[in-house]
Amino acid sequence: MFAVRTLPRAANTVVVGVSPFAVQVRNMATLKEISMRLKSVSNIAKITKSMKMIASTKVAKAQRAMEAARVYGNSATALYTHAETTSADDAKNLVIVVSSDRGLCGGIHSSLAKGARRFLADHPESSLAIVGQKARAQLQRDSRKNIAVTFDGVAKNLPSWNEAALIADEIIKAGVQFETAQIIFNQFKSVIAFDTVNVPVHSYKALSESPKLAAYEVEDPVLKNFEEFTFANTLYWGIAEGNASEQAAKRAAMENATKNAGEMIQKLTLTYNRSRQATITNDLIDIITGAMAV
Q: Does the pLDDT of residue 104 top 50, yes or no?
A: yes
- Alpha-carbon gap, residue 38 to 257, rounded angstroms: 15
Average pLDDT value for the chain: 82
Predicted pLDDT at 13: 38
Q: Is the pTM of the predicted complex or chain greater than 0.85?
A: no
Q: Does the pLDDT of residue 87 top 70, yes or no?
A: yes
Length of the chain: 294
Predicted pLDDT at 216: 73
List, for residues 258-280, the tens digit of each pLDDT value.
999 999 999 989 888 888 888 88
**pLDDT band, very low/low/confident/very high, at 76 (cuts 50, 70, 90):** confident
Mean pLDDT for 139-157 is 87
Predicted pLDDT at 26: 47
Residue of 175, 169, 185, 187 lying closest to 227 (CA atoms): 169
**Is the dihedral angle over the CA atoms 175, 178, 180, 182 positive or is it negative?**
negative
Predicted pLDDT at 208: 80
Predicted pLDDT at 47: 92
Using CB atoms within 10 A of its CB, is residue 81 exposed (0-12), middle (13-18) or buried (19+)? exposed
Predicted pLDDT at 202: 86
- Alpha-carbon gap, residue 34 to 29, rounded angstroms: 9
Which residues are registered as beta bridge partners of 53? none
% of the chain beyond a pLDDT of 70: 90
Q: How many CA atoms within 13 Å lie on the side-chain side of 137?
A: 11
Predicted pLDDT at 213: 77
% of the chain beyond a pLDDT of 90: 20
Residue 90: count other Cβ atoms within 10 Å of its Cβ: 9
Q: Does the pLDDT of residue 223 top 60, yes or no?
A: yes
- Alpha-carbon gap, residue 78 to 235, rounded angstroms: 15
Please tell me which residue, 104 or 254, carries the higher pLDDT value. Answer: 254
Residue of 280, 238, 190, 257 lying closest to 52 (CA atoms): 257
Predicted pLDDT at 283: 84
Superfamily of domain 51-252: ATP synthase, F1 complex, gamma subunit (3.40.1380.10)
Instruction: Report how far Cα 67 is from the mean position of its chain's Cα atoms.
Output: 22
β-strand pairing of 127-131 with 180-190: unpaired
Predicted pLDDT at 2: 39
Q: Does the pLDDT of residue 126 top 50, yes or no?
A: yes
- Alpha-carbon gap, residue 275 to 39, rounded angstroms: 16
List, for residues 24-36, the tens digit of each pLDDT value.
444 445 788 888 8
DSSP code, position 175? T
Predicted pLDDT at 22: 43
Predicted pLDDT at 17: 43
Category of 130 on φ-ψ map: left (φ > 0), alpha (ψ -120 to 50) or beta? beta
**pLDDT band, very low/low/confident/very high, at 11 (cuts 50, 70, 90):** very low
Residue of 234, 79, 236, 226 lying closest to 164 (CA atoms): 236
Predicted pLDDT at 236: 92
Predicted pLDDT at 191: 83
Residue of 137, 148, 166 lying closest to 93 (CA atoms): 148
Domain ranges within the chain, ordered by starting residue = 51-252
